[in-house]
Amino acid sequence: MSKPPLGEYSLSALVGAIVGSIGGLFAIGLVRAILGHNIILLLRFPILGFLSWLVCGGVGWVLGGQIGPRLGETFDSHYAEVLGGALGGLLPVLLVALWAWYMTPH
């Protein structure tokens, strides 16, 4: 199994960056909106949303570029590679959402 280069462009890295950045943009606000039962809270902290967008997009790019090609090679499928990229982009979003869920009541 060949190791994919870190940070190199691939379709799975692009999918990971897209999923990570869009999910990261709303990860903090979505948790607050759900816990507060108020949709207005979704956009209450735009600076934190922007920072989460940057961090989750970058981490999603790296993780998607690493997980995607390995899944694609394992299952010998282009669709598995794209799905691995989406999974790599979803991981930082879930971590930020869990952090926001922990920090909201405190």
The contacts of residue 24 (CB under 8 Å, 6+ apart) are 49, 52, 53, 54, 55, 56, 57, 60, 92, 93, 96
Q: How many domains does the chain have?
A: 1
Chain segment 38-76, per-residue pLDDT in tens = 999 998 889 999 999 999 999 999 999 999 999 999 999
In this model, does residue 81 exceed pLDDT 90?
Answer: yes
pLDDT score recorded for residue 104: 86
The contacts of residue 73 (CB under 8 Å, 6+ apart) are 1, 2
Tell me the pLDDT of the chain averaged across its residues.
93
1 occurs within a structural domain? no
2 occurs within a structural domain? no
Residue 42 sits in which domain range? Answer: 11-103
3 occurs within a structural domain? no
